[in-house]
Amino acid sequence: MRLLKLLIILSLSLLFISNYGKNSFVLGEEMTTKGLHVYGRNILNENGEMIMLRGANRPGSEYCCVQYAKVFDGPSDENHIYEMRKWKMNAVRVPLNEDCWLGEHAPETEYFGAGYRKAIKDYVKMYTDNNMAVILDLHWASENGKLATQQIPMPNNGNSLIFWEDVAKSFKDNSRVLFDLYNEPYPYGNSWANPDAWQCWKNGTDCGDLGYEASGMQQMIDAIRSTGSTNIILLSGIQYATSFTMFLDYQPHDPAGQLGVALHSYDFNYCRSRGCWDTFLRPVYSLFPMVATETGQKDCLHDFLSDFIDYCDKNDIHYLAWSWLTGPCGIPSLIQDYDGTPSNFGLGFKRHLSDLAKGVKPYYTPSFEIYNDKITHWADDWSSATRVTNCTRQVFSGNYSIEWLPTATKSLHFMCWSCIKTNDHKSVEFMVNGGNNGGQDMDIDLLKLNPDQTNSIVKTFKLSSVVEGGKVLKNQWSKVTVDLTALGKDQEFDGFWLKADTSQPTMYVDDIGVKAIHEPPTPIPDSEYFDSDSSSTKLFTSLILILSIVSFILIF
């Protein structure tokens, strides 16, 4: 009997050690995705629990069927779903091709028409059987009867409606499936805030010179609801799903009351910082569930992604990164292989989801950079002065600096949408170099953006009073520190500019940033974070072995 007990203890210990070493980050508690429905601005499950959808896009099924004679790009089995689940994802977005689903404008094959539909249905079932929500989106639609092989401005007023009727019939009994009506509408030349574009978006009428009859969001909603489907419907904004400027004026009617909005947010979009999100997104996500059905960045980093999903977490916005597809991280791709090895871009996303699953607040610092070899996503370059943002003549760090020519009344201007906040930040800092002359002096003005896009000067600092040594030096770098701590609480600025009263010699600026009052503890490096052989894991394993030995002694 003692031997049997010993074997049981040792077996359990080894099993626990094995699970801890390999899969400890998949053990977090999760909620069911069954019964998803809209309640106010939130998405609830069948238990009435508020649920946040966080996951990735799984591209391929929008283009493979018309370009590569197959349905999926990469594996479509349960193993790769398991790898996504190990990242603690609970949602996936599957892009669809209208013609491949309907079998239109090309012959039927095993990957086109009925074969495509079966493959997608089986694929969706695998995800939902694994407690993952699935967002189906109409990614490529047919233009004027042509085979759907690319993104077009709006869906058509014909097969796009038939597509959604058939898709809705196929999935109306699966409450884990959401419908994203159209990937990235861009009527009227990709307008940001054009009433004609929003009219076209809603009703499919007066759409300008598209070359085909369009379908609006209202028509597609009606097509879906005609089937009896009550699945959640997501509506992408205009300008490639980035603009919601007039959404509240043109919102369609849903008899089921199950509408949300679908946002795309990348580091290269027009609206890519917190102040801009507050200005243009908050009025919408305060009333409707908002799902960032695509987000990412193309420079193989994850600073923008971390900023955006931190904002999402704080404001109950759902998000799915682009994409779970192998390839260069600049696609952007989250993974290097389908075993789930993260790219450098993917590391930030994986870490964030892992922290959330563990109940740990993901690392986030209020400090940010405005220029670090490029103008970052935090700022827009609104300069009127002559400047070169990738100069190599004088560089403090990295590969580039900003070379600019101070000219009377012309500014080196960084606009950043309420990004500088005295409650959060202690200083604006950057490096300056006087070039071949030195001695330049000018105003550094903290700015407030007016409704007419002009700027009001709120506070002025003289460059000579905030640069170390009191002077911009010839061919040398000096640090500039603009102290914000004496300005008082509750002040926000939409950026700053350097502006001279007189023309002065060429100079250089580098490493522009805004520093936080309080920095959180530095996180564990990404290279160590997911190492199952880390010292903490080894320590835990040792403790389990010690407990096993103690148990052995007590039994005998």
Query: How high is the pLDDT of residue 7?
Result: 41
Tokens of 273: 């910082």
Residue % of the chain over a pLDDT of 70: 89
Do the Cβ atoms of 497 and 412 come closer than 8 Å? yes
Q: Per-residue confidence at 529, pLDDT binned at 50, 70, 90?
A: low
Residue 204, burial from CB neighbour count under 10 angstroms (0-12, 13-18, 19+): buried
Give the sign of the dihedral formed by CA 210, CA 237, CA 138, CA 327.
positive
Residue range 172-186, pLDDT digits in tens: 999 999 999 999 999
Pairing relationship of beta strands 42-44 and 492-499 according to DSSP bridges: unpaired
Give the residue-averaged pLDDT of 353-371: 93
Do the Cβ atoms of 409 and 441 come closer than 8 Å? no
Residue 253 in this model has a pLDDT that exceeds 90: yes
Residue 295 in this model has a pLDDT that exceeds 80: yes
Residue range 475-492, pLDDT digits in tens: 999 999 999 999 999 999
**Separation of alpha carbons 359 and 355, rounded Å:** 6
Query: How high is the pLDDT of residue 191?
Result: 83
Give the residue-averaged pLDDT of 453-468: 97
| Domains identified in the chain and CATH numbers | 37-358 (3.20.20.80), 368-516 (2.60.120.430)
Residue % of the chain over a pLDDT of 90: 84
Give the residue-averaged pLDDT of 417-439: 97
Residue 6 in this model has a pLDDT that exceeds 70: no
Q: Chain-centre distance of CA 198, in angstroms?
A: 24
Residue 538 in this model has a pLDDT that exceeds 50: no
Query: How high is the pLDDT of residue 18?
Result: 37
Residue 545 in this model has a pLDDT that exceeds 50: no
Residue range 69-127, pLDDT digits in tens: 999 999 999 999 999 999 999 999 999 999 999 999 999 999 999 999 999 999 999 99
Residue range 312-331, pLDDT digits in tens: 999 999 999 999 999 988 89
